[in-house]
Amino acid sequence: MLTHYLTFNASREPFSDPRLREAADLTIDRRAIADKLLAGTATPGAAFLSPVFADLADRGVTAPYDPARARALVTGARAPAEPVTILISSAETGQFPYTDIAEVLRASFEQAGLPAKVTVAEATKSVMEAGDYDVFLSAYSVPNGDVDYLFRRFLRSDASWNVERRLGYRNVRFDELVDRAAAETDAVARRELYHRIQRLLATDRPMIALAYQDNPIVTTTDVSGMTQNVAYVADLGKLAPRR
């Protein structure tokens, strides 16, 4: 299972204002995205961690669809004069209907009073490192079963993704909880810490989950020779029919 996330650039206006991040979140109809644009192959997102993480995913986190509340927040915060940029990767448009999803997001933002435009780029890494975006739509799976990998790689204050991609997310409490959860050996206490982390992220909204994508996997015992390196890259060079 992978998750479709919307990442905010909170290092600059307008999404440095938490009210506008909340407005953008509330204006998204996740059910429509999952059922229609993703053709029922996904379920609406809410908590940062997907159901693949079992009880570590906080099922109590919700993501309400409330366009009226979104419009009120934009009015109170003052809408940006320039359109916000919805960035998508050209590489991912062939795998997922991101062009259509981005257009739905653009229309939803504009209905809430947030003018928006869609930018398709081949090198999204350089665009993000330059800070030349407002939200980024992309999908991520997990290379291992350790949830600490996600929080430490993406959102901790010193995380490479956070710093290099200009997310601008800084929360000392979040950092402390991530470190505590990583060191906790009691399963129940660790689960509660990860639930607290997800509730905090649901309030701060540096990255929001739009949908949890089912990932069909086909297996066979008829081939051999596939290996995987430490970077989780599969080497198919020695793949051969099993004799």
Neighbours of 58 (CB within 10 A): 22
Helix axes 67-77, 98-111, angle to 10 degrees: 60
pLDDT tens profile 101-120: 999 999 999 999 999 999 99
DSSP-assigned letter for residue 242: -
User: Is the Cβ–Cβ distance between 4 and 211 less than 8 Å?
Assistant: yes
Which residues fall within 8 angstroms of residue 40, CB to CB, at 6 or more apart? 34
Alpha-carbon distance 74 to 27, whole Å? 11
Q: Is the pLDDT of residue 49 over 70?
A: yes
The whole-model pTM stands at: 0.89
Task: Report the pLDDT value the prediction gives residue 233, as an integer from 0 to 100.
Answer: 66
Q: What is the mean pLDDT of residues 39-47?
A: 97
Q: How high is the mean pLDDT of the chain?
A: 94
Task: Report the pLDDT value the prediction gives residue 86, as an integer from 0 to 100.
Answer: 99
Task: Report the pLDDT value the prediction gives residue 238, as an integer from 0 to 100.
Answer: 78
And the tokens for 183?
């060191």
- Taken in order of first residue, the domains within the chain and their CATH numbers are 2-241 (3.10.105.10)
User: Is the Cβ–Cβ distance between 80 and 74 less than 8 Å?
Assistant: no
User: Is the Cβ–Cβ distance between 227 and 239 less than 8 Å?
Assistant: no
Sequence-ordered strand ranges (E) for 156-233: 207-213, 223-224, 227-228
pLDDT tens profile 61-81: 999 999 999 999 999 998 999
Signed CA dihedral, 160, 179, 25, 96: sign only = positive
- Interior angle at CA 88, CA 125 and CA 149, nearest 5: 55
Neighbours of 88 (CB within 10 A): 23
Q: Is the pLDDT of residue 229 over 90?
A: no
Which residues fall within 8 angstroms of residue 126, CB to CB, at 6 or more apart? none
Task: Report the pLDDT value the prediction gives residue 52, as an integer from 0 to 100.
Answer: 93
Kind and range of the H or E run holding 91: none
